[in-house]
Amino acid sequence: MMRLKLTVEYDGTDFYGFQRQPGLRTVDQVLEKAIQDLTGETVKVTGAGRTDAGVHALGQVVAFDSLSTIPAAKFARALNTFLPQDIHAIDSVQVEPDFHPSYSARSKTYRYMIYRSYEGYTMVRRYAHLYTGALNLEMMKAAASIMTGEHDFRSFMAQGSAVRQTVRNIMGFEVMEDYPWLRLEVTGTGFLYHMVRNMAGTLLEIGRGAMSVATLRSALETGDRSLVGPTAPARGLCLIQVHY
Amino acid sequence: MMRLKLTVEYDGTDFYGFQRQPGLRTVDQVLEKAIQDLTGETVKVTGAGRTDAGVHALGQVVAFDSLSTIPAAKFARALNTFLPQDIHAIDSVQVEPDFHPSYSARSKTYRYMIYRSYEGYTMVRRYAHLYTGALNLEMMKAAASIMTGEHDFRSFMAQGSAVRQTVRNIMGFEVMEDYPWLRLEVTGTGFLYHMVRNMAGTLLEIGRGAMSVATLRSALETGDRSLVGPTAPARGLCLIQVHY
């Protein structure tokens, strides 16, 4: 028995998220099916981040146990033969039996892509949120810097989440300009449900002048969900890398 | 009656090309339907380039006559309300009654996109041809430069084309490196059927060392189709701009 760590990328547009839901096309189900086609084994994969429907990944990490004799380093390439076009295994490596893609992770990096022009959006519409209004980038950078560090992010969590421990440490949050692109890149020890999309929505509200930096401070201090911006659309979000 | 010139972009993946074919989703049919939804008129649009199935456009130009009272400059925006996500009108302007998108054009620019890494290809697979082998870029640049100028390109034309005049003038052909991207950008007075895809296929053959620059010279001199490389896949091709 070996434990395999698989790094995968996928275009989330046509997936109903990472986690299995009866009758729907999900990332874990498509991976498990391909592993079965390749090895004959019925496995259960665990992922580092349970991306929502429409959310993409360039560096999702999954792990599973296998009795297969395929050399670990060649597993990714062999698996790709059985995967559809919108998901691809980049790398495979054998790991310790207790490796867990999420619990073993030190941090994760997500990128939120905003496209600021009608021209060319047709080609990037699957991977970017269209926003053509004026944005005060300096304000957005200031807000990203306020969110950096250890904070109680419960106001940035989707309503109805059952998580109790809502303190997270954001190690870096960059606002990168490359017109017509605006990229938000955030690295943290962990993220609450919808947290990155709510952070992106909040930065956009601040950028367009509909929300102040003082309100952001107050959302972090009071945990008041109503102070935070709307959840930005899934299509702009991508899980870039999981750090171990 | 006014004649309208419309600049449109589209993701060609889910279109069976530009030109109407019974029962299939084509660019002209989708545009004509949207114009009818907007104005109530039944029009026939003419395009600058009849892109094949799977070929994209960032600057396709179409023209048609309309009795609509919508101001020309606002037509594009109004039309977008009736267009699906994979096609978008960028600009609309009134032109002379004798304007023809193709015959009035001085030249056209096409771009062929090659992606040289398995990593990240999932996200760009609709718009790029995957080629991960070694390529001699200096050789490719030399070959592109040989194709520049006025030549008889009949060896680069799809078999079965009925066109008699096969001399075309290539004003510029650049090979641009930005790993993992390799972009081929060609501007010419006109292009024969499959000509750009055959040029791209030929450059790839030369880049990987399967064809010599001398063979390319001989293809241009003799018109022998068998000397030219294979037709590169449609997905990598995009009509960038039509110059008037």
pLDDT (tens digit per residue) in A56-106: 999 999 999 999 999 999 999 999 999 999 999 999 999 999 999 999 999
Number of H helices, E strands in chain A: 6, 10
Q: Residue B220's CB: how many other CB atoms inside 10 A? A: 20
B39 has a pLDDT exceeding 80 = yes
Best CA proximity match to B27, nearest among B41, B39, B17, B38: B17
Question: Is position B52 annotated as part of the catalytic site?
Answer: yes
Q: Check: CB of residue A238 under 8 Å from CB of residue A183.
A: no
Q: How confident is the model at residue B154 (pLDDT cuts 50, 70, 90)?
A: very high
Whether residues B85 and A125 touch (CB distance < 8 A) is answered with yes
Amino acid code (one letter) for B61: V
Q: Check: CB of residue A79 under 8 Å from CB of residue A94.
A: no
* Best to test chain A binding among B51, B60, B123, B125 (most A CBs inside 10 Å): B123
C-alpha dist (Å) from residue A3 to A72, A80, B11: 9, 19, 41
CA–CA separation, B59 and B62 (whole Å): 10
Q: Check: CB of residue A83 under 8 Å from CB of residue B122.
A: no
Residue of B nearest to A90 (CA): B119
- When the pLDDT of each residue in chain A is averaged and rounded to a whole number, the result is 96
Q: At what angle do helices A195-207 and A137-147 cross, to 10 degrees?
A: 140
Residue of B nearest to A119 (CA): B90
Q: Copy the structure tokens of residue B136.
A: 């001699």
Largest CA distance in chain A: 58
Give me the pLDDT at residue A242, please.
Answer: 97
Q: How confident is the model at residue A160 (pLDDT cuts 50, 70, 90)?
A: confident
Chain A residues with CB under 8 Å of a chain B CB are 9-11, 56, 58, 85-88, 90, 118-123, 125, 127
Percent of chain B with pLDDT over 70: 100
Whether residues A56 and B87 touch (CB distance < 8 A) is answered with no
Rounded to two decimals, the ipTM of the complex is 0.84
Best CA proximity match to A220, nearest among A152, A142, A145: A152
* pLDDT tens string A191-226: 999 999 999 999 999 999 999 999 999 999 999 999
Best CA proximity match to A174, nearest among A187, A160, A192, A155: A187
Choice among B11, B28, B37, B52 that is catalytic:
B52
* pLDDT tens string B212-221: 999 999 999 9
Q: How confident is the model at residue B103 (pLDDT cuts 50, 70, 90)?
A: very high
Tally A–B CB contacts below 8 A.
Answer: 46
